Amino acid sequence: MRILVLGGDGYLGWPTALYLSRRGHDVGVVDNFARRQYDHEMGVDSLVPISSMQRRVRTWNEVSGLTVDAFVGDLTDPVFVQDVLRRFEPEAVVHFAEQRSAPYSMIDRQHAVYTQVNNVVGTLNLLYAIADFDPSIHLVKLGTMGEYGTPNIDIEEGFIEVAHKGRTDLLPYPKQPGSFYHLSKVHDSHNIMFACRIWGLRATDLNQGIVYGQETDETAQHPDLATRFDYDGVFGTVLNRFCVQAVVGHPLTVYGSGGQTRGMLDIRDTLACVELAATNPPGVGEYRVFNQFTESFSVQQLAEMVVDAFPGSATIDHVEPPRVEKQDHYYRAAHTKLLDLGLVPHLLQAATLRSMLAVVDRFRDRVDAEAILPTVDWRRTQSTLPTAGTSVVA
């Protein structure tokens, strides 16, 4: 297939592009380098050094003997979006190109507004471009399990049958997002579903859990092909943060009681899920949802697993939670549709954690210990307006 990967310079977009290329697809990557700009703004960096997108693409094309095309532009520019579709003529578009950090979206008013404008407007431009250029293009959109929140009932895959006053209907599952970032994903889901209904588009919403891991078969072929490893308090994921804390001798910081439970999946499974979705498209006018995770763990369980896997001495501290969320809750979510398509998951084992710990140890000199602890408080609303001519987001 011809597959265009939006956000192809990012943590997941880059290894996804390489995986699809190696699997025989014609791949193009699109990025505006905003993720790299967030690092400059926050004063942090990926633990694992990453090359420029241009150098990455050049190295992959040389190492693999394959060709990945690169396009630089912003989805909030509708002219660029239409142009890149016309130039590449994709059969499927994999959409990773959004601001993906909940803490970043909760810094203040400016960052909340930026997150929603960037994410929602970019996706709207893409929907219009697909409808105008080629409605048969299959949109594979990265959503999040965070759209659902933590309801006291089982979470279904996108839709739930509701009985009310003697009548039943299959309706979108109720959403209880936990941040302005997660809200932007909910808005995306509604807009995509609406576009499918009125324009006959085809879309798959991948409600993804928390991804762990940094190396894939493709990224391991050359240092220039490495993808990100984020551990800071704004963009770092929980398992990355725990691994870094264990290696540098810092107590593992569990927020509150640690009962917060989330769906998790290995980075290699993310790549496989995207290809399964892309190569098994929905029908015309169909909007479908896959819950993309393989296992569920509480934060406390993850911390204990890292302590057990770490060859040295690691301890756990419980700190005041910066987020407004239930610390202990019911969590049971369906995730069978990708398994039905053939996903063979890599489950979280001690060997996987030891591999992640080894990556951290290799680059331990790059760890900024001050960047690990949370700095964004969900309860804070005060926001200083910028002066004329200044930029909020670098």
Vertex 334 angle, CA 242 and 94, to 5°: 75
CB atoms within 10 A of CB 370: 11
Whole-angstrom distance, CA of residue 150 vs CA of residue 385: 34
**Would the pLDDT of 134 be above 80?**
yes
Q: List 264's β-bridge partners, or say none.
A: 210, 295
Q: Specify if 376 maps to a domain.
A: no
Tally of domains within the chain? 1
pLDDT-derived band at 394, boundaries 50, 70, 90: very low
Both tokens of residue 247? 């290696």
Q: Specify if 210 maps to a domain.
A: yes
- Averaged confidence pLDDT in the chain: 96
212 is catalytic: no
Question: Considering Cα of 113, then 146, then 14, then 95, what sign does the dihedral take?
Answer: negative
Mean pLDDT over 284-301 rounds to 98
Q: Specify if 387 maps to a domain.
A: no
Q: List 318's β-bridge partners, or say none.
A: 254
**Would the pLDDT of 296 be above 80?**
yes
**Would the pLDDT of 393 be above 80?**
no
Q: Specify if 394 maps to a domain.
A: no
- pLDDT digit string, tens, across residues 8-53: 999 999 999 999 999 999 999 999 999 999 999 999 999 999 999 9
168 is catalytic: no
| Active-site residue identified among 141, 173, 185, 287 | 185
Domain extent for 26: 2-371
Q: Specify if 390 maps to a domain.
A: no
Whole-angstrom distance, CA of residue 257 vs CA of residue 261: 11
| Active-site residue identified among 115, 144, 150, 294 | 144
pLDDT at 387: 53
pLDDT at 390: 47
Mean pLDDT over 171-186 rounds to 98
- pLDDT digit string, tens, across residues 316-361: 999 999 999 999 999 999 999 999 999 999 999 999 999 999 999 9
Mean pLDDT over 162-173 rounds to 98
**Would the pLDDT of 94 be above 80?**
yes
| Active-site residue identified among 181, 212, 231, 331 | 181
Q: Specify if 354 maps to a domain.
A: yes
Q: Specify if 152 maps to a domain.
A: yes
Mean pLDDT over 88-92 rounds to 98
Mean pLDDT over 119-134 rounds to 98
Q: How far apart are the first and last CA of the chain?
A: 36
Please report, for the domain that includes residue 212, its CATH number: 3.40.50.720
Both tokens of residue 158? 């996108």
Query: Please, are residues 6 and 13 in contact by the beta-carbon 8 Å criterion?
Result: yes
pLDDT-derived band at 381, boundaries 50, 70, 90: confident
Query: Which one, of 11, 100, 107, lies nearest residue 53 by Cα?
Result: 11
Q: Specify if 389 maps to a domain.
A: no
